[in-house]
Amino acid sequence: MIRVLAYGSVVSTYVLIVIGGYVSATGSGLACPDWPLCQGQWVPPLRGAVLIEYTHRIFALVVGVFIVSTMVYSLLKLGRERTVIALSTASFLLLVAQVILGMVTVRTELDPLVATAHLGLAAGVFALVLANALTVRSLVIRPGFARTLPKTN
């Protein structure tokens, strides 16, 4: 299970960064000029630039689910694996900062400095989830690791 969560965090974070690049390239960043709502609605009419920006926001939720699940699982089930716990917790904390910076990006109407920081922080989140996935991979191939995992029925 930890591999699915850790690898899912990597893939979903990468896809989110690609979607963010598409948002920027198409000039769709202000299609949802408010936050957390989009055009004053939880689910706006999904067409054109709004669809592009809203897809970015929804996919951020997918990333959040993977990163939070990875952290919770590691805290509850992998108490001895301090590196996984540290990396998954750091990933979560950086993601929280990233979400806040995403809000600031919208509220400052895509200020170039804030938007650049948003991309830089995204790279940091990606680096952490990738480091965590590589750590999990090395644990899974380590002899005896499977015996330390709780049995699931």
User: For the chain, how many structural domains are there in total?
Assistant: 1
Whole-structure pTM value: 0.85
User: In this structure, what DSSP letter does residue 78 have?
Assistant: -
* Dist CA 129 CA 41 (whole Å): 31
* Dist CA 146 CA 149 (whole Å): 5
* Dist CA 28 CA 19 (whole Å): 11
Residue 12 placed within a domain: yes
Residue 152 placed within a domain: no
Residue 135 placed within a domain: yes
Residue 150 placed within a domain: no
Along the chain (153 residues), what's the average pLDDT of each consecutive run of 10 residues? 95 97 93 90 93 94 97 91 94 96 92 94 97 89 54 49
pLDDT at 139 (0 to 100): 81
Residue 115 lies in domain: 2-142
CA angle 85, 65, 76 (to 5 degrees): 35
Other C-beta atoms within 10 Å of 12: how many?
20
Residue 151 placed within a domain: no
List residues bridging with 38 in a β-sheet.
Answer: 41
pLDDT at 142 (0 to 100): 57
pLDDT at 149 (0 to 100): 54
Other C-beta atoms within 10 Å of 153: how many?
2
What are the DSSP E strand ranges found in 18-144?
Answer: none
Residue 153 placed within a domain: no
Residue 73 placed within a domain: yes
pLDDT at 54 (0 to 100): 94
* Dist CA 94 CA 89 (whole Å): 9
Residue 124 placed within a domain: yes
pLDDT at 153 (0 to 100): 45
